[in-house]
């Protein structure tokens, strides 16, 4: 079960109305952690109505309740807690906060974290050449 500020989040109704993405922290039963972001609502373009010229934009909910991370390192692990740290109304804000948290907690150096890269740019194996 997801939590936000200590309160359970069981559906999209428990999120803020403008929330399209959130940044999360998952702790697994083996004591390891994972920081990430998840898109929970997306804007879909639909064709214009008959007689109209502009495309319609519809907000669509994306399932997130059973989500436990996108990394291969978390496959098969059981989450002990899933906490939403920030709710964002843009992907850019969520990406910034996720990246800032990962650098702040040194996820590539700390073996307590399962994150293997930051923004698909900095990878844990890139640090093997560090002197």
pLDDT class for 123, splitting at 50, 70, 90?
Answer: confident
Q: What is the DSSP string of 54-108?
A: SPEEEEEE---TT---S-GGGTTPPEEEEEEEEEESSHHHHHHHHHHHHHHTTTT
pLDDT at position 119 is: 85
Residue 70 predicted with pLDDT over 90 = no
Q: CB of 28 within 8 A of CB of 35?
A: no
pLDDT at position 43 is: 84
- Average pLDDT rounded to a whole number, residues 41-50: 89
Strands 2-4 and 79-88: parallel
pLDDT in tens, 6-39: 999 999 999 999 999 999 999 999 999 999 999 9
Residue 126 predicted with pLDDT over 80 = no
pLDDT at position 131 is: 65
How many Å apart are CA 54 and CA 70, to the nearest integer?
A: 35
């Amino acid at each position: 079960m997801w939590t936000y500020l200590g309160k359970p989040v069981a559906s999209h109704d428990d999120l803020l109305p403008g929330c399209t993405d959130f940044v999360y922290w998952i702790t697994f039963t083996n004591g390891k952690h994972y920081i990430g972001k998840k898109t929970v609502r997306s804007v879909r373009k639909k064709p214009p109505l008959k007689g109209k010229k502009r495309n319609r934009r519809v907000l669509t909910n994306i399932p997130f309740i059973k989500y436990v991370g996108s990394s291969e390192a978390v496959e098969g692990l059981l989450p002990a807690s899933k906490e939403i740290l920030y709710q964002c109304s843009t992907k850019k804000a969520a990406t910034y906060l996720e990246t800032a948290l990962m650098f702040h907690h040194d996820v590539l150096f700390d073996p307590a974290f399962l994150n293997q890269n930051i923004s698909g740019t900095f990878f844990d194996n890139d640090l093997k050449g560090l002197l």
